[in-house]
Each structure stands twice: as C-alpha cells, then as structure tokens.
Amino acid sequence: MVQKISTSAIPDVSAGEIQGSTYEIFDGRFPERAVKFSIIIFLFAGSMLGMGRQIERIWTDDQGRNTKALLLRVENGNAILQLPNGKESPFPIAKLSKDDQLWIQNYSQEQTKATPETAAETKLNFEDPWPEQVKFKGDPEILTVKEDKDSKTFVYESANYRYNCDVRLGSSVVKGFAVLFETTHQCVRELPLAVNGGAKKEGKYEIFLFENEKDYHSAGGPPGSAGVYIGGKNIVMVPLTSLGVKKAGSGYVLDREKSSKTLPHELVHQLTPNPYYAQGSMGWFTEGLAEYVAVTPYFSSGMFNIKGNSKSIIEYATAFGKDGTGGRGLGDKINLGPLKNFMLQSYTSFVGNSQVNYGCGMLITNYFFHMDRDKDGARIKKFLKALREGKQGDAVLEVLLDGQTWLELEKDIAKAYSSKGVKFTFTE
Ligand SMILES: [Zn+2]
C-alpha cells in the first residue's frame, strides 16, 4: 500500500501535514514545539492588540492601590499587564479588586467567545442545491486597521478575515488575495454540508501572514509547508509567497497565478465545525473535504468551478498534475486496503502515509458528494448530521453504511470509479 514517491513530487498542499501533522489535530493539545509557538503567537497577538485593540485601564488591587496598565492577556491566573514603561508584568488576578476580577472574567469570556455570527453560519444548509459555480461578487472592501512600522504590525480586514501581517502591503495587494480568501469562504459555506464552523475573533477569522519563510517557521510553521491551520487557536498562518505576494522595489505586488492550493485547503479546516473532527471522520473526510475545495478549479477573478471539478479531482489523485501544479501520483490502480480501517485509522497514521491517504480521502469524499446512489449526497449528509449529534467511530460509520456491508460499499465505490478509469481495490 505504501507508494514510493519522490520528494519532488510531493506538492505544497501536503507538505505541512507530512512533517507537521500534529499541528492540525483539533484537540487543543500541542506538542512541545507548538507550545512554544502558542506563546509566540500570544505575544504576536498581544503586540497587535496593543496597537489599539488592547485595553488600557486603571487597575486597583485588593489593598486599594491603583496602577495604569495595558492588559495584554490572561494566563495561569495572572493578568499580564504592560506597564507605562513598556515592561510586561504578571499580576495575580486573585489580588485584584473584586470589580477588576469581574471585569477580567467578562473580558476572558469575550476573548473565548466562538459563536458563529451570521444567520448563514448558524443555518444547517443540508437542503440547499450543490453549487455549480461559486462567484465572489464585487471588490472586497479592505479596511486598514493598523500600520505601525516600529512594531512591524500591519493589520488589514476584509469582510470575514483579519490579516495580521509583518510588512506593509498596499491595499490593492490585500484586495487581490482577499478575493481568494472570501471566495473560499463563500464556497465552503455554499456546499450543502453545513460547514459552518470556525471561531471568529472580534468578528473575523484570524490569518497571520509572514514576509519571509524564516519568520513563518520560527512562529511554528512546519518545515516545507506553504501554510498551516492551527486547530487549537483557530488561526491560519501563511508565508506571503504562498499567496503570490512578492517584493518589487520598496513595496509588494501580487502575482495571482502563483498562489498555491494550500491556502484554500487550510481555510476549509478553519471553517470545519468541531463535530466533524471526530474519529471516523477526522482524516478521510476532513482532509478529503479540504482537498476537494483546494483541487476544484479556481479562477483568480474569484470563482470556483465546482461543476467541472471531477476531472481535476481524479487527475490530481492519480497523476502529478499539469504544469507542475502537483498531484498525489497514485496511478489509476489503487489498492487502499479495507475501507473500514482507512476510515477508522488515527490521524497520526493518516498523515503518516499522506500521498495515498490524502488522495484517497479526496476521491472517497468526492464519491459520497457526487457518485453515491442517487448522486444527491444523501448518505454523507446523514453521516454529518450524526456527527453533529455526537456520534463517532463505529457508530457514525454505521450511519454512513446506511444498511450496507463494508464489502457492498467498497464494491459501489469501485464500480463508480471504474467508469472514470480508476481501478479501486480494498484488499489487505
Ligand atoms: Zn489538511
């Protein structure tokens, strides 16, 4: 089952997950290296917030003494304050006045609030038709929130995203890549799969952009990756090169054709609701869905052509892609081993054999979306509804089987793909 594939054939889209698999695990636990990262990100966010989003107030301790300071964050029972001299200082919350303790409690609740905010995000859209094309309408409005050269803090916003960047970008550049973000957002929301997750902070999804790859890596971006979704923080980090942004003279320009598939892939993860990251679904479905969107032909004017995506999906899985765009290179004869094992394997195991598992995750997800039974996605929708009800593992896969045996389901998948020129087998 292990396919020998040369390193050069490994496309950007998987690289982060080959070497940095743990970064995508959505359980809030971080490996040692990521803990270090989370501190960096907190600091990063803290300094961003210090630029106008952060709150300066007069604090009173339990002895009635006052101090003016900026609240950077709350950590381990301490309020991390920035004093007027710029020094950071932890202060035990228990030693603050009752009023201040209450204030911090409210502040913390605000910070962790992760509720979907619009009607579109709370709606379960399982009954909607499958979109044929998703077009972004109009120019995205870009708001320049902060540009501070000294602290290298440049914050821009579009309708749904906040771009925290370490260099100044012209608004036309931001506008250019914001189209891809907003169109991906719209595409994911329009799929009738109730992909309505993701945690907004102050009304936006948080994106961190890095001018150079070195800074991206030192902030925790996995080696060789072109972008990463950090589940525990619900943020996506991307080096600017992955967006096609490059230096030109003293400023930056956007080469729209150069943006990689990694970005839509990671944005899908960011929008995927928590219940979908359960055993029985995490891996084959969560990565399959991300790949499904990423591989769907995208036009830089802001359009996903979903109707014509089947050919691209099969090509991407079986071949190495046209014009060096990458692919899983699995060939047209794929033996996956028993489907049940594939769907129930741990996430670590899933990313351990990434070419086969990502490629097949996408093919099988695509099967359930467009080729299964009446081609209406009915079974996968039942499966997603069951995940939302808290079912997982064997129990949720029983829902997916919907009365079939594993052998029958494998036969159906093999049959559907053989008509597309892919020979699937599921033997040990
Ligand atoms: Zn992924």
Which pLDDT tens digit goes with each residue over 264-321? 999 999 999 999 999 999 999 999 999 999 999 999 889 999 998 999 999 999 987 6
Calculate mean pLDDT across residues 78-94. Answer: 73
Pick from 54, 52, 57: nearest CA to 42 = 54
| d(CA 266, ligand 1 centre) in Å | 6
| d(CA 97, ligand 1 centre) in Å | 45
What interhelical angle do 171-190 and 284-295 show, nearest 10?
Answer: 130
Q: What pTM did the predictor assign?
A: 0.74
Supply the pLDDT for residue 32: 32
| d(CA 283, ligand 1 centre) in Å | 8
| d(CA 294, ligand 1 centre) in Å | 10
Q: What does pLDDT average to over the chain?
A: 82
| d(CA 307, ligand 1 centre) in Å | 23
Supply the pLDDT for residue 259: 66
Asked whether the predicted pLDDT for residue 109 surpasses 80, the reply is no
| d(CA 262, ligand 1 centre) in Å | 9
Asked whether the predicted pLDDT for residue 232 surpasses 80, the reply is yes
Asked whether the predicted pLDDT for residue 44 surpasses 50, the reply is no
Asked whether the predicted pLDDT for residue 49 surpasses 50, the reply is no
| d(CA 428, ligand 1 centre) in Å | 26
| d(CA 230, ligand 1 centre) in Å | 10
Calculate mean pLDDT across residues 78-100. Answer: 75
In the chain the domains, ranked by start, together with CATH numbers, are 7-33+116-425 (no CATH), 34-112 (2.30.30.700)
| d(CA 347, ligand 1 centre) in Å | 11
| d(CA 175, ligand 1 centre) in Å | 25
Backbone angles phi, psi at 400, to 5 degrees: -65, -40
